[in-house]
């Protein structure tokens, strides 16, 4: 069973598939539109072609159906000589997974933002006021409060954030110096 989301790669030697009468009609309309300089969005162009195909007279429709019959003969002739490649275990492309970097448990923790310092100070108070709030509701409430705060009210949390960022940068410099000595 192929992995979910994977596709079998196309065989470049396989003959091009056969076209229907409608496909020939759309191809002709597309060439006409390009010649006229008409650039309808694809969705509108497809809708217009579909409506025209439904209202097409039998003689014109037969012209496109004849082209489709010729193309069917071409396809069948090319398929007679076609030999598909033998199946293999690697026929399906493996979905590309992002490799998660392993975090070094000895590395210093990143500095917290002013908003996180605000949340840590305000959350216990809100839990008492709204004991039945879920985590999402609590976060939303904290976010709304933070947005409405003026800069002077945010200032103490900004100071804490700056101090914590400096702590992180200092610890990170020491950590990198230690890790370079080990290697």
Residue linked to tokens 């199946």:
87
pLDDT tens for 46-90 read 898 899 999 989 899 999 999 999 999 988 888 888 888 777 655
Domain 21-80 and domain 114-182 have a common topology:
yes
pTM of the model: 0.45
Does residue 142 carry a pLDDT above 60?
yes
Q: Does domain 114-182 have CATH number 1.10.30.10?
A: yes
Task: Answer for the pair 79, 15: CB distance below 8 angstroms, yes or no.
Answer: yes
Which pair of structure tokens corresponds to residue 133? 């709030």
- What's the token pair of residue 21? 């009468």
**Is 60 exceeded by the pLDDT of residue 141?**
yes
Phi then psi dihedrals of residue 67, to 5 deg = -60, -40
What tens digit of pLDDT does each residue of 99-114 get?
788 888 888 899 999 9
Q: What pLDDT, on the 0 to 100 scale, is given for residue 125? A: 93
- pLDDT, residue 13, reads 81
Residue 113: predicted pLDDT: 94
The domain ranges of the chain are 21-80, 114-182
**Cβ within 8 Å of residue 79, ≥6 positions away:** 15
**pLDDT, tens only, 129-138:** 999 999 999 9
Please provide the CATH number assigned to the domain covering 21-80: 1.10.30
**CA–CA distance, 54 with 60 (Å, rounded to integer):** 12
According to DSSP, residue 92 is labeled S
CB 34 within 8 A of CB 65: no
Give percent above pLDDT 90 in the chain. Answer: 45
Supply the DSSP symbol for 2: P
Alpha carbons within 13 angstroms on the beta-carbon side of residue 149 total 19
């Amino acid at each position: 069973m192929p992995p979910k989301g994977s596709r079998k790669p196309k065989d470049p030697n396989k003959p091009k598939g056969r076209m229907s009468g409608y496909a020939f009609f759309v191809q002709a309309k597309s060439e006409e539109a390009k010649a006229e300089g008409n650039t309808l969005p694809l969705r509108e162009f497809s809708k217009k072609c579909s409506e025209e195909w439904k209202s097409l007279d039998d003689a014109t429709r037969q012209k496109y159906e004849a082209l489709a019959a010729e193309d069917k003969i071409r396809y069948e002739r090319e398929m007679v000589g076609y030999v598909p490649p033998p199946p293999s275990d690697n026929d399906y492309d493996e979905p590309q997974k992002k490799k998660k970097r392993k975090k070094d448990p000895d590395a210093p923790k990143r500095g917290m933002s002013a908003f996180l310092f605000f949340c840590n100070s305000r959350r216990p108070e809100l839990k008492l006021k709204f004991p039945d709030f879920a985590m999402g509701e609590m976060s939303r409430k904290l976010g709304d409060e933070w947005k409405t705060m003026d800069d002077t009210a945010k200032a103490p949390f900004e100071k804490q954030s700056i101090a914590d960022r400096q702590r992180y940068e200092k610890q990170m410099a020491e950590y990198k110096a230690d890790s370079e000595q080990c290697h």
